[in-house]
Structure 1
Amino acid sequence: MATTAKNTDAYPLNRDFLASSRLHLQHQVWTSSLGYLLHPAIPREEHMLIADVGCGTGIASLEIAKQLPAGGKVKAYDLSLEQCPPKGWWPSNVSFEELNIFEPISDHLIGKYDVVFLRHFICVVQSGNPLPLLSALLKLLKPVVVEPASSAPKMEAFMNMGGETIKKQAGWVRDLHTRFSDAGAELVAHDRHWTAKEVMMMKQEVG
């Protein structure tokens, strides 16, 4: 997708065989270093629905789906499904669909998901401002309120908010956890992990 004046946050990398191989290697690096895909603070509940935004090759979606309780499903989204498995290979609890997260969210997706999972967005948020992305992601989440009939004004306000070098472009990643509280959303956990030694060579190869 070409970068336009309307959307400066676009996927800047390729979607060929080498790009898919890189994503698979990065997946191995991260899972080996973190020790999990879904954060341990996230409760696993029956019939939970997860949105994997920017799913890439779909490898994380497929592995997360194996860990879900009965009735749990993963809906995987990406701007393009070129790197995803063909439909005949999809497990019964995983499906893939095209979605541009920087475009207005369709009504049928708003407030639908228990968990929103994403990664690979350092190079995508080229504007250096993660708030439009966070706003869109929060629209996908089911609002968490004390009573079903209650309103969530802080959540609603946050959802309405509307590089020279890669270091400058990705600077938002370092303080992303502070942006949640500033915007009125609750951050449940914030972890930092070093790359596991056994995958250090692999990390060097994927950049």
Structure 2
Amino acid sequence: MSVNDYCFTRDIVDNNRINLQHYLWIELFGYHIHPAIPTSNPTLRIADIGTGTGIWLTDLARRLPDSVSLDGLDISFDAAPPPKWLPSNITLKSFDIKADVPDHLRGIYDIVHIRNFSFIIRDPEIEQVTRNLLQVLKPGGYIQWAEPDVDSFRINKGEPDSKIDALRNLAAACQDRDSLFRGTWVAKLSTVLEDIGLEEVQADVKDGAFHTNVAIHECNLVIPLLIARKMKDKTVEERVKQLMPEAEKETGDGSHFAFTRYTVIGRKGAE
């Protein structure tokens, strides 16, 4: 996977989206680490895959002892703060989730967290990516994987007679241009984890309260514009800009993009 494969822009607008999206995700699910995953060990080693701005790690760091090691793994740290600004127990490390796992990362983590890869991983890639995650886990370690199910996309109306034409056209402006927008693997993730041998697999599935969904939608309403900019397709970008005022009006009436969201966990067996 190359840096250019990332479908968003890694700029200040996208960084703000990622950071706000994190807090809304925690609001929706109610935890940083699933309550079934033990965290009492003061020498835990935790990896955040695709750490981006590092927001999950920095928010988690203040909730765990300083003796816990927190590693942010990514192919680019353009979105992350300078390392000297991070808590002392956070380290940034280069890692390509689609490439062979380097020896120095094999079998070292108690918990591996990964979130928001549904626009990055295609259906044929999911099994190998999951096996790569398994390789960085210690025996007995846990994966926590959190995703919106892109395949569940729908537009909820604020009222039965609310207009959603602009929102529908806004979504269509970027959908169907790449298989990344047609992935079906998220809803099958529990089965994928079981098939590669993980134990105690369970899924926490949320559709969210109406007000939470609207807030998440407003956070993510910038995504079509970011995708258009990254595609460097002026026609799509102008179409998105043209649709946005009316889409904002429809949003103000309560209509919004909606997805079913998953947090799936599993434990690696003893070897």
By the TM > 0.5 criterion, same fold?
Answer: yes
- Residue 193 (structure 2) aligns with: 180
Within a 5 Å distance, the mapping from 1:102-141 to structure 2 comes to 102-141=98-137
1:192 to 189, 205, 227: 205
**Displacement of 1:128:** 4.5
Within a 5 Å distance, the mapping from 1:45-194 to structure 2 comes to 45-69=41-65, 71-144=67-140, 166=180, 168-169=182-183, 171-194=184-207
After superposition, the CA RMSD in angstroms is 2.1
Greater strand fraction, Structure 1 or Structure 2: 2
1:96/1:42 Cα in 2 relative to 1: closer, same or farther (>3 Å)? same
- Residue 29 (structure 1) aligns with: 24
* Percentage of matched positions with identical amino acids: 33
Counterpart Cα distance in 1 of 2:85 and 2:116: 23
Q: Which runs of 5+ in 1 are unaligned?
A: 4-9, 146-162
Q: Which runs of 4+ in 1 moved over 4 A?
A: 163-167
Moved more, 110-119 or 84-93: 84-93
1:70/1:87 Cα in 2 relative to 1: closer, same or farther (>3 Å)? closer
1:113/1:83 Cα in 2 relative to 1: closer, same or farther (>3 Å)? same
Q: Do the aligned partners of 2:48 and 2:57 also contact (CA within 8 Å) in 1?
A: yes
What SS does the aligned partner of 1:130 have?
helix
Counterpart Cα distance in 1 of 2:32 and 2:110: 15
What SS does the aligned partner of 1:25 have?
helix
Q: Do the aligned partners of 1:29 and 1:195 also contact (CA within 8 Å) in 2?
A: no
Counterpart Cα distance in 2 of 1:23 and 1:183: 30
> What whole-Å deviation, never above 9, does each CA across 1:8-65 have from its counterpart, x for those lacking one?
xx42221011111111121121011111111111101110000100001100011112
What is the number of equivalent residue pairs in this alignment? 183
- Residue 20 (structure 1) aligns with: 15
From the CA coordinates, give the structure whose radius of gyration is larger. Answer: 2
Residue identity opposite 2:97 in structure 1: I
Counterpart Cα distance in 2 of 1:79 and 1:70: 26
Counterpart Cα distance in 1 of 2:209 and 2:34: 17
Greater helix fraction, Structure 1 or Structure 2: 2
Give TM-score scaled by structure 2 length.
0.62
**Displacement of 1:126:** 2.6
1:83/1:111 Cα in 2 relative to 1: closer, same or farther (>3 Å)? same
What SS does the aligned partner of 1:190 have?
strand
**Displacement of 1:192:** 0.7
